[in-house]
Structure 1
Amino acid sequence: MYCQGTYFYLDSEDRAIVSTTRNTVLVIQVPEPGGEFELVREYDLRDQVVPMSWPHSDSVAWVLPD
């Protein structure tokens, strides 16, 4: 479901922006020490990704943040 070793970045509010193998992008609040991570928002991009049959595939998890 989630991609191990994927790139992410922190936005201007220090939230992690993470792509997944489900073709979604998660916005996660990074906690202060001792706190818990919080899912702020999930963007569903499945309708924007071209479906392909195995062994070919496409995923937003392979996109590098710019």
Structure 2
Amino acid sequence: MSFTSTAVAGILASEAAHVELPMPAWAYGLVALIIFAALAFVTASYRDVANRHRAKAEAYAARHGADEHSGH
């Protein structure tokens, strides 16, 4: 038997072996859902941050001009 036929026989034998997943397939979807929900919570926690510091923004605008960052 040549090396090529031995290698092919080994590859075919390894493909026939069934590999079990470490957890059920639906659990992967659940893990992904939990991760995306956590990331969505972190993203939503930054919502409306500028309005929390309105006094600082108004003081900055008074010192540096109201439309310095407006792009006009």
User: What TM-score do you get using the length of structure 2 for normalisation?
Assistant: 0.22
Higher helix share: 2
Q: Greater RCO between the two (CA within 8 Å, min separation 6)?
A: 1
Q: Decide which structure has the larger Cα Rg and report it.
A: 2
